[in-house]
Structure 1
Amino acid sequence: MTILEDILRQKKKEVEQLKKQPIVETPSANKPVQTVVHTFHNTDRMNIIAEIKRASPSKGSIDMEADPAEQAILYEACGAGAISVLTDEAFFKGSLDDLRAVRNAVDIPILCKDFVIDKVQIDHAKSAGASIILLIVAAMNPSKLSELYTYATRQGLEVLCEVHNEPEMETAIDLGADMIGINNRNLKTFDVTLSTTERLASMVVNPETILISESGIKTRDDVMETAKSGASGILVGETLMRSNNLQELFNELKIPLSEGGRSHAR
């Protein structure tokens, strides 16, 4: 059994429990925020979705003592375009309470980073303050993906549709996803290669599609490589969580998109 299959098996159990729990509306959940699609289209520098990540199945503990609100405030001050909050507890040691704390602390878009397989997860994420939902193509069949994508967008949420191979990219394109995350990490082996972004980005012909490169991004050269492929955003977690100088790292990663060989601002 792969790690993804293990996670999804656990997630099905959690969904059944979640359906029994009342949805608690966070007072700040309806805080107005700019859409990521608009922001990321109208910028001349690489956009960063900065992730709050305590641990992962592949790396184990990263920073178990991290305070989500404090980390989010630092990210926003350093110039993050959005903040990703891992809310999976069993494998990543996060929670919806982390998301609520972040929503109370910052005014920028928040991505609920979880393995969403049911509408009830979307309802709870929105009530906690998420403005973006992650849908992983590998986690469900195309019919369920379309159902959840439509449901989330009708709730006024943005959707980051995540792919990691060619068939999944074809599914995301057919779906009409306006924001596609290319995961450089193989979800079955957890191996990472940035060439995945280059390979899959070449399949996207619609210039309106926002491409986000995810996983394995550590240096300015890494960012330049993803920009050349057509990404206008990167999702970075572990590198930021381990940094001793966040502002310096942000400055290094927020390269002019023109350096990547193309300008994304309109």
Structure 2
Amino acid sequence: MILDDLVNATQQNMLKRREKKSLNSLKKEVNNIPSSNTFSFEKNLNQSNISIIAEIKQASPSKGQIVSPEKFNYQQIADDYKNAGVDAISVLTEESYFKGSLGILTDVAARNDIPTLRKDFIIDPYMIYEAKVAGAQIILLIVAILTDDKLGEYLSLADKLGLSVIVEAHNDEEIKRAVSARARIIGVNNRNLKNFTVDFNNTIRLRKLVPADILFISESGIKNRTDVETLEQNGVNGILVGETFMRATDKIAKINQLRGHE
């Protein structure tokens, strides 16, 4: 299963990073960071207009190389997203399959004041501290790869560090677990992480299982204004869009198109 491969690769890469920087060193760095996060991302999600999380990623396991390395100017992409007024920027930091890095996240977070999301397969508290040090204001926790105890532990740690959390679920059972863990934001991935097929109706079906006071994000497979209108009509607070933006020649125009501002 590809999800197992992703988790194994994440574990190996994290262990290599821990050899260079210990958890205690990361904690010391976190202690020196001024407490400034006011969970603005969550406040933005509560607005009437659907929020847009625009993603920076070079490759993916399902699509391979999305943007050629010589054209992957992530700083320019971040500037385009900022100029388009997106609500958050998601940065893939998984190295082996998505060709991301913490360095990209650090640069993007330092480049602007838009909340940044560390998009990765977080399996250890070490990675949450890494996200904080890199300047992220949001992290992703995937229910499918965490036990209930770990999910609760990581949510508490993120809250302590001033990080918002998108708890990602893919089916009915995972939605129940996310709600039980008291997630403030639940994201439904329309892409099945075991076989990478996309079912856009996954969001619509699972939205009905989430209490109205929990913020709700739809991820993957969102391509046009019609898709966004459908989600708006089904009570979705925000969308996370990656490949559609990464393949767009004019990213600002594409974002405006999804908003209906053509």
Runs of 4+ in 1 over 6 A off after TM superposition: none
Figure out how many residues of one structure are paired with residues of the other and give that number: 252
Matching residue of 1:83: 89
Which secondary structure state, in structure 2, belongs to the residue aligned with residue 133 of structure 1?
Answer: strand
- Shift, 1:73, TM fit: 1.2
Secondary structure at the counterpart of residue 162 of structure 1: strand
Give the root-mean-square deviation of aligned CA atoms.
1.9
AA aligned to 1:102 is V
Q: Describe the shift of the 1:93–1:31 C-alpha distance in structure 2 as closer, same or farther (beyond 3 A).
A: farther
2:54 touches 2:90 (CA, 8 Å); kept in 1? yes
Cα distance, 1:33 vs structure 2: 5.5
Say which SS state the counterpart of residue 116 (structure 1) adopts.
coil
Compare 43-52 and 90-99 and name the one that shifted more: 43-52
- How far has the Cα of 1:21 moved from its partner? 2.6
Matched, 1:246 2:245: no
Q: Which amino acid aligns with 2:10?
A: K
Equivalent residue in structure 2 for 1:178, among 170, 178, 184: 184
The sequence identity of aligned pairs, in percent, is 42
Deviation at 1:226, TM superposition (A): 1.6
Paired residue secondary structure (2:20): coil
Partner of 1:212, secondary structure, is: strand
Corresponding residue SS for 1:138? helix
Shift of the 31–246 alpha-carbon distance from structure 1 to 2, 3 Å rule, reads: farther
Q: CA deviation at 1:32?
A: 4.4
Other-structure match for 2:137: 131
Aligned position for 1:213 = 218
Q: When the two structures are superposed, what TM-score results if normalisation uses the length of structure 1?
A: 0.90
Are 1:18 and 1:120, in contact at CA under 8 Å, matched by a contact in 2?
no
| Separation in 2, partners of 1:31, 1:94 | 27
Q: One-letter code of the match for 1:11?
A: T
CA distance in 2 between partners of 1:77 and 1:33 (Å): 22
Report the counterpart of residue 202 of structure 2 in structure 1. 196
- Unaligned stretches of 5+ residues in structure 1: 257-266
TM-score w.r.t. length of structure 2: 0.91
State the alpha-carbon separation in 2 of the partners of residues 255 and 123 from structure 1.
Answer: 38
1:73 is the counterpart of 2:72: no
> 2-side partners of 1:124 and 1:68: how far apart?
20
The Cα shift of 1:251 comes to 1.4
Aligned equivalent of 2:43: 38
5+ long unaligned stretches in structure 2: none
The structural deviation recorded for 1:31 is 8.9
2:59 maps to 1:60: no
Question: How many Å separate the matches in 1 of 2:133 and 2:74?
Answer: 18
- Matched position secondary structure for 1:19: helix
What letter matches 1:250 in structure 2? I
Q: After superposition, where does 1:216-235 map in structure 2 within 5 Å?
A: 216-235=221-240
Check whether the contact 1:45–1:255 (CA below 8 A) recurs between aligned residues: no
